[in-house]
Chain A
């Protein structure tokens, strides 16, 4: 019976999804539990900071510049209708610091660093490097996973801050240099409108949560990937898709908590 078969398939997929969420949660707690060596031997984390954070800088800077320039153009066109062109600086800064900085930087981070982490760990598993480490009495979660996790958590807020800073500069280039908005009002309105606690700290909090989510998803998918070429490629795709959806979902939840009524 097709209905029974559909019901069975839905049930099977639901059980599988719940099972994987449980496994990911367990993996996250194990990562936290075995994080000691990531700090005692901080050079391991620094090495990963380079490959996840520093190597993502170019894409973050270029994307931030263009997003900021588009915001400058679109913002000017809209504000002009209400005769509020001088508020361009505050509009660009608030959009970037509250929303676009953390969200777009996290999406780019998931595509660039998250997929690389999944592929690297998946391949290490496929080529028995993780099994070899276990046979050498070295815990792979402590040695491989935890340093990458903390590198992701540390680098994500820094990348989002960089994205926002470059974005503001892009908005300045278009708004002030190209269109001719008054430079003094651009910066002063921005300074007056942006609140350190409500805007900047909340933005940092968002990027910290996104960084944690993306890194856990990327590491779990890599660690859980079937040890085949197809398995690793599927895990890499799942990392990007799941991370992107989780970022957008978490963004809604965090925005609702942080900015409701403001």
Chain B
């Protein structure tokens, strides 16, 4: 590579980094010396909706926990809004988390509170807003997810899809700049799945936020996201726009997107010789 090309490349990388809300560089993490993430580099530009896909146990949720500051990398860093997450003290981390929202896999609604109190929780904890304004804001958030009338129900009275939507309203209660979704489509019926997918896209655009969706629901996520990272065994194996991913001829991506049994991901868990196990 010539000197000019190198300068242009550095220029573009710098531009990308400047506009990226989340920047991950050479991220490594291990549980008990077992590597889970190895050399991850990612950029999440402002205003974009990006999916991280991969098989169960490939490190997607671990990556999300690094962005939220729940885990500390063994090497590399995660930068959010220009700040290295693992270098923040508890106060700094909590200040940063106030600008983030996270939707957990099954909603994680507080079971001893009504729907209204769940959505109002952060407003009451982090602001001095009068109760009348909180009331109106909560109803607006619930209206945005189509569940305004459920405000006085308990989480146990909601279906799985409704609980996920209430959790979504709670996640965006303080209009975060970064929204993270951990398996938002898991266990939903087809209608709820489309509704939740549509809400994720609409909320991202309405709030001008940046969203990261960790999922293995290929079809639903390819409909709504701007960019996709594919992970396997703790490394990024492919990336691209939904069109590029659909058209990809890489074996892993093709097998994953089309849900095929044959391919680089084996059906059997790695182990010893079958004949030996049967004593033949």
Partners in one complex: yes
A positions within 8 Å CB-CB of B: 123-124, 127-129, 131-139, 143
Evaluate whether A136 and B110 lie within 8 angstroms (CB atoms) in the complex, with A131-B70, A131-B104 already known: no
Beta-carbon contact of B111 and A127 below 8 Å: yes
Beta-carbon contact of A137 and B104 below 8 Å: no
Q: Which 9 A-B pairs have the closest CB atoms?
A: A132-B108, A128-B108, A137-B97, A137-B94, A135-B102, A128-B104, A137-B98, A138-B125, A136-B122
Beta-carbon contact of A136 and B108 below 8 Å: no
B108 CB contacts on chain A under 8 angstroms: 127-129, 131-132
Interface string of B101-113 (1 = CB under 8 A from A): 1101110111100
Bound Cα distance from A51 to B100, whole angstroms:
33
B216 to chain A, nearest CB (A): 19
Indicate if B121 sits at the interface (CB-CB under 8 A): yes
Beta-carbon contact of A128 and B106 below 8 Å: yes
- Residue among B68, B101, B110 with max Cβ neighbours from chain A (10 Å): B110
Indicate if B202 sits at the interface (CB-CB under 8 A): no
Beta-carbon contact of A136 and B111 below 8 Å: no
Bound Cα distance from A190 to B108, whole angstroms:
55
Indicate if B126 sits at the interface (CB-CB under 8 A): yes
B135 CB contacts on chain A under 8 angstroms: none
A224 to chain B, nearest CB (A): 17
A-B contact pairs, 20 of them (CB 8 A): A124-B110, A127-B111, A128-B104, A128-B105, A129-B109, A131-B70, A131-B104, A133-B110, A135-B68, A135-B70, A135-B102, A136-B97, A136-B121, A136-B122, A137-B93, A137-B94, A137-B95, A137-B97, A137-B126, A139-B94
Beta-carbon contact of A136 and B125 below 8 Å: yes
Bound Cα distance from A138 to B113, whole angstroms:
16
Residue in B closest to A134 when the chains form the complex, CB atoms: B70
> How many B residues touch A, CB cutoff 8 Å?
21
B93 CB contacts on chain A under 8 angstroms: 137
B237 to chain A, nearest CB (A): 28
B positions within 8 Å CB-CB of A: 68, 70, 93-95, 97-98, 100-102, 104-106, 108-111, 121-122, 125-126
Bound Cα distance from A152 to B109, whole angstroms:
25
Beta-carbon contact of B110 and A135 below 8 Å: no
- Residue among A127, A129, A132, A143 with max Cβ neighbours from chain B (10 Å): A132
A89 to chain B, nearest CB (A): 45
Bound Cα distance from A143 to B68, whole angstroms:
20
Bound Cα distance from A136 to B68, whole angstroms:
10
B109 CB contacts on chain A under 8 angstroms: 129
B68 CB contacts on chain A under 8 angstroms: 135
A132 CB contacts on chain B under 8 angstroms: 102, 104, 108, 110
B126 CB contacts on chain A under 8 angstroms: 137-138
Bound Cα distance from A137 to B125, whole angstroms:
9
B132 to chain A, nearest CB (A): 19
Residue in B closest to A143 when the chains form the complex, CB atoms: B125
Query: B97's contact among A127, A129, A135, by CB below 8 Å, is which?
Result: A135
A131 CB contacts on chain B under 8 angstroms: 70, 104, 108
Other A-B contacts than A127-B111, A136-B125, 15 sampled, CB-CB below 8 A, are A123-B111, A127-B108, A128-B106, A129-B109, A129-B111, A131-B70, A134-B97, A136-B122, A137-B93, A137-B95, A137-B97, A137-B125, A138-B125, A139-B94, A143-B125
B50 to chain A, nearest CB (A): 19
Bound Cα distance from A9 to B178, whole angstroms:
48
Residue in A closest to B180 when the chains form the complex, CB atoms: A135
A187 to chain B, nearest CB (A): 45
